[in-house]
A and B are shown apart, each in its own frame.
Chain A
Amino acid sequence: MSEQLIIQLIVSGLGMGFIFALIAIGLTLIYGVMNVVNFAHGEFLMLGMYASYLAYATWGADPLVTLPFVAAAMFLFGLMVYYLLIRKVLTGSMQSQIFATFGLMVFLQALAQFFMGADYFAVQNSYLSGVITLGGVILPVPQVAALVGSSLATLVLYGLVFRTGVGRQLRAASQDAQAASTLGINASGMYALAWGIGSACVGVAASLLSNFYYVFPRVGAIFVLLAYVAVALGGFGSIHGALVAGLLIGLLQVASGFFISSELKFVPVYMLYLIVVLLRPRGLFGKM
């Protein structure tokens, strides 16, 4: 057991952790602002990955180059989903909201399978491929990029939500939509913004992921299941919580995969989740 190996495992764990965190932040933002769980979140990721791949396959555009465009496109897609679907079911029951996003999930998966087939597609030789060797530690560039890119995106998001006027309005709408409306904040606009930003986060994650992961219609489930755990673990609606929980999950799955058994690598993750939920039902950073 060498230090190099430990550093390698930590880098991999953080790389995946930031990806989980970025997906989870999008999810928790939407939930925090309007109490709707987006069950189609994984499929948003899938769409983003297809967008990156198709841009690469058609124009040879590197995922790094198309990242801002994919993020912007996903922002618009989030707005569209809000205005065309979510706004209509907001007045309905809780169940109809769940089924609306669940239905969207099934629909998007079927759509992808119809147009792209069930095959696996992957970007080859992107700018961010290869490895950096630092003092005997091999750092895969895509994972380092995921680490850097996701942490930058998280930072930007933090700035936006906690340091700007729009962020204040967003938080106000999430705390009390009615009171916010009374004070002249356009609550519906804030909801739309949350969907937009949440989807854009997934777009960034999708671009970073497509440097090293393949896309297929069900790719979303692989990542988003852990993102749901991150949201619940960190506390519903808490951005800090999603970030910390995402990193924790990333590190824990790499460590348990190496030290315990790769067949059981998610068991400690879910066990941690159960323990936290049992001892602290609102999650690590959740509001009461």
Chain B
Amino acid sequence: MSRKRFRMPKLGYASAIAIAMVGLAFGPASAADPVKVGALYPLSGQVAKSGEDTLNGIRLAIDIVNNRHADLKMPFAAGEGLPGLGGAKIELIAADHQGSPEIGAAEAERLIVQRKVAALIGAFHSSVAATSSQVAERMGTPYISGESEASTLTERGYKWFFRTTPSSRTQARDFFTFLRDINKSQNAGVKTIAVVHENTLWGQEFQKSVEGYFKEFSEFKPAIMVGYQQGTADVTSEVQKLIAAKPDVVFHASYDAEAILFARTYKQFNFNPRAVLAIGAAFGSSAFRDALGPDANYFFVREHWSRDLASRNPLVGQVGKMYRDRYGKDMDGTPARAFTAMMVLADALNRAGSTEPEKIRAALAATKIAPSDMIMPWEGVAFDKTGQNTLTRGIFVQTLDGVPKMTWPADQAAAKLVFPRPAWR
């Protein structure tokens, strides 16, 4: 007993000295210590592939920050590391949440407590972003999401959560800005809108968001709302309802299978509204185009990003090529958005000039990124007090001659949009 008592303080001194020495040895250089960023993505399970693609967008952003890319006219590309932190590099620590909200929360805690990350980025699934950002909120760690879209994420009044991607709700708004714009530019005279939606959470949320915007865009009137169940054998009754309601345009929230079925049934009954605008990729997917051939033309799909943006923004072409060269696959909207979120986080870390959480949070809240510094078709990045980026903008892609082409907004378009739809062949 007495020996132990005697030795304990000694051990204490020894460790104190050791810590002090480590401090001395590395203290002055600490500005150049790498900044750890924890990334939460599904890297196994059903959507592992999408998770990996998305994480690759983040890897690419970090590579641009950490290494010299003289030919790329983008913040942090010309130098190495973050100048505001004495040239510190960013170290990525990826964690696999397998699409599970519980695992996501546990991994967030592990990254914060054990790996001492300065900030978190994630999480693909909105459900996982919800639980993992809750942990970050509790521990006071900044959290940024570039692709989790559920509107509720930024409606919780969190202080530490920031989102660069538009939420589901703001995506619905793009449909109205699109119509208002073509009413003005093409004198299209669109008034009535029908919404066709599948009735799981995604479709219902879209339909509710659309309904909510009729007040703000009072020149438009709802014609009819048609909800349907996924996995339906035929949609004759749905289409007959639309025919009876005679809407000017139809908004669609459908997955691949029903998108094909609806398009075919529209043609059969010669239902030809002036435009069909869809959320989600189904009405422009390769399965859709293969199944319908020339009938797949003229459908509009609201997208986040398109490689066509390269025609106006050289960064898109350069970053897209780097992504392709590195990961052997074309970049699409999700990795592009994750890439952007990581660049926004790097910008905030740089301005914070510190890895202190409160300073990073304050820097994130003060974010002001210009459209010319990024690969998204947005008006920039700036967060409101809920942490939502308010400068997002969607694009509309229209399939023309079998190829999806970016046609809106006009100032970034790669092809001229066709409106109204020509008659069915």
State the A residues within 8 Å of B (CB).
Answer: 5, 8-9, 12-13, 16, 19, 119-122, 124-125, 131, 138, 140, 142, 212-214, 216, 221-223, 226, 253-258, 261-263, 265-266
CB distance from A91 to the nearest CB of B (A): 37
Return the chain B residue nearest A264 by Cβ.
B229
> Given A120-B257, A131-B268, A138-B269: A214 and B237 within 8 A (CB)?
no
> Given A16-B233, A212-B264, A262-B227: A121 and B240 within 8 A (CB)?
no
Contacts of B270 in A (CB 8 A): 131, 138
Interface size class of B (residues with CB under 8 A): 20 to 34
Cβ A121 vs Cβ B238 within 8 A:
no
Return the chain A residue nearest B271 by Cβ.
A138
CB distance from A29 to the nearest CB of B (A): 22
B188 CB-CB contact with A under 8 Å: no
Cβ A222 vs Cβ B232 within 8 A:
yes
B287 CB-CB contact with A under 8 Å: yes
Cβ A140 vs Cβ B287 within 8 A:
no
Contacts of A142 in B (CB 8 A): 268
Question: Majority SS of interface residues in chain B?
Answer: helix
Cβ A257 vs Cβ B290 within 8 A:
no
Distance in angstroms between the alpha carbons of A5 and B226 in the assembled complex:
18
Distance in angstroms between the alpha carbons of A262 and B269 in the assembled complex:
18
Cβ A258 vs Cβ B237 within 8 A:
yes
Contacts of A263 in B (CB 8 A): 199, 227-229
Cβ A9 vs Cβ B257 within 8 A:
no
The 9 A-B pairs with the shortest beta carbon distances in the complex, nearest first, are A257-B237, A122-B291, A258-B237, A12-B236, A140-B268, A263-B227, A120-B287, A262-B228, A262-B238
Other-chain contact of A266, B229, B264, B268, B293 (Cβ < 8 Å):
B229
Contacts of B231 in A (CB 8 A): 221-222
Distance in angstroms between the alpha carbons of A256 and B236 in the assembled complex:
11
Contacts of B293 in A (CB 8 A): 124-125
Cβ B241 vs Cβ A258 within 8 A:
yes
- 22 sampled A-B residue pairs with Cβ under 8 A: A5-B240, A5-B244, A8-B240, A9-B240, A12-B236, A12-B237, A13-B236, A124-B291, A124-B293, A131-B269, A138-B268, A140-B265, A226-B233, A253-B233, A255-B237, A258-B237, A262-B226, A262-B229, A262-B238, A263-B199, A263-B229, A265-B232
Return the chain A residue nearest B204 by Cβ.
A263
CB distance from B252 to the nearest CB of A (A): 14
B363 CB-CB contact with A under 8 Å: no
Distance in angstroms between the alpha carbons of A162 and B229 in the assembled complex:
39
> Given A120-B260, A214-B261: A9 and B236 within 8 A (CB)?
yes
Distance in angstroms between the alpha carbons of A16 and B235 in the assembled complex:
11
Q: Name the residue among A142, A226, A257 with the largest chain B CB count within 10 angstroms.
A: A257
Contacting A at CB under 8 A, from B238-260, are: 238, 240-241, 244, 256-257, 260
Distance in angstroms between the alpha carbons of A119 and B256 in the assembled complex:
9
CB distance from B233 to the nearest CB of A (A): 5
B401 CB-CB contact with A under 8 Å: no
Contacts of B290 in A (CB 8 A): 121-122
Return the chain A residue nearest B234 by Cβ.
A16
Distance in angstroms between the alpha carbons of A137 and B234 in the assembled complex:
18
Cβ B291 vs Cβ A262 within 8 A:
no
B95 CB-CB contact with A under 8 Å: no
CB distance from B200 to the nearest CB of A (A): 11
CB distance from A271 to the nearest CB of B (A): 16
CB distance from A64 to the nearest CB of B (A): 17
Distance in angstroms between the alpha carbons of A122 and B265 in the assembled complex:
14
Distance in angstroms between the alpha carbons of A223 and B290 in the assembled complex:
23
Contacts of B292 in A (CB 8 A): 122, 124
Contacts of B236 in A (CB 8 A): 8-9, 12-13, 254, 257
Cβ A214 vs Cβ B291 within 8 A:
yes
Contacts of A262 in B (CB 8 A): 226-229, 232, 235, 237-238, 241
Cβ A254 vs Cβ B237 within 8 A:
yes
Given contacts A120-B257, A253-B237, A254-B234, list 18 more A-B pairs with CB under 8 A.
Answer: A119-B287, A121-B290, A122-B290, A122-B292, A125-B293, A131-B269, A140-B265, A140-B269, A213-B261, A214-B257, A254-B236, A257-B237, A258-B240, A262-B226, A262-B229, A262-B241, A263-B229, A265-B232
CB distance from A113 to the nearest CB of B (A): 13
Distance in angstroms between the alpha carbons of A8 and B270 in the assembled complex:
13
CB distance from B69 to the nearest CB of A (A): 37
Return the chain B residue nearest A138 by Cβ.
B269
Distance in angstroms between the alpha carbons of A140 and B267 in the assembled complex:
10
CB distance from B374 to the nearest CB of A (A): 33
Q: Name the residue among A5, A222, A255, A262 with the largest chain B CB count within 10 angstroms.
A: A262
Contacts of A131 in B (CB 8 A): 268-270
Return the chain B residue nearest A256 by Cβ.
B237
Distance in angstroms between the alpha carbons of A203 and B232 in the assembled complex:
21
Contacts of A214 in B (CB 8 A): 257, 260-261, 291
CB distance from A168 to the nearest CB of B (A): 35
Cβ A122 vs Cβ B260 within 8 A:
yes
Return the chain A residue nearest B291 by Cβ.
A122
Contacts of B240 in A (CB 8 A): 5, 8-9, 258
Distance in angstroms between the alpha carbons of A142 and B233 in the assembled complex:
14
Contacts of B227 in A (CB 8 A): 261-263
Contacts of B226 in A (CB 8 A): 262
CB distance from A134 to the nearest CB of B (A): 14
Cβ A12 vs Cβ B261 within 8 A:
no
CB distance from B296 to the nearest CB of A (A): 10
Distance in angstroms between the alpha carbons of A119 and B424 in the assembled complex:
26
Return the chain B residue nearest A140 by Cβ.
B268
Distance in angstroms between the alpha carbons of A256 and B227 in the assembled complex:
13
Contacts of A8 in B (CB 8 A): 236, 240, 269
Contacts of B241 in A (CB 8 A): 258, 262
CB distance from B330 to the nearest CB of A (A): 18
Return the chain B residue nearest A5 by Cβ.
B240
Contacts of B228 in A (CB 8 A): 262-263, 265
Distance in angstroms between the alpha carbons of A223 and B244 in the assembled complex:
28
CB distance from A7 to the nearest CB of B (A): 11
Q: Could you give, for residues 212-232 of chain B, a 1 whenever the CB lies within 8 Å of some chain A CB and a 0 otherwise? A: 000000000000001111011
Distance in angstroms between the alpha carbons of A255 and B234 in the assembled complex:
12
Distance in angstroms between the alpha carbons of A257 and B227 in the assembled complex:
10
Other-chain contact of A257, B238, B256, B264 (Cβ < 8 Å):
B238
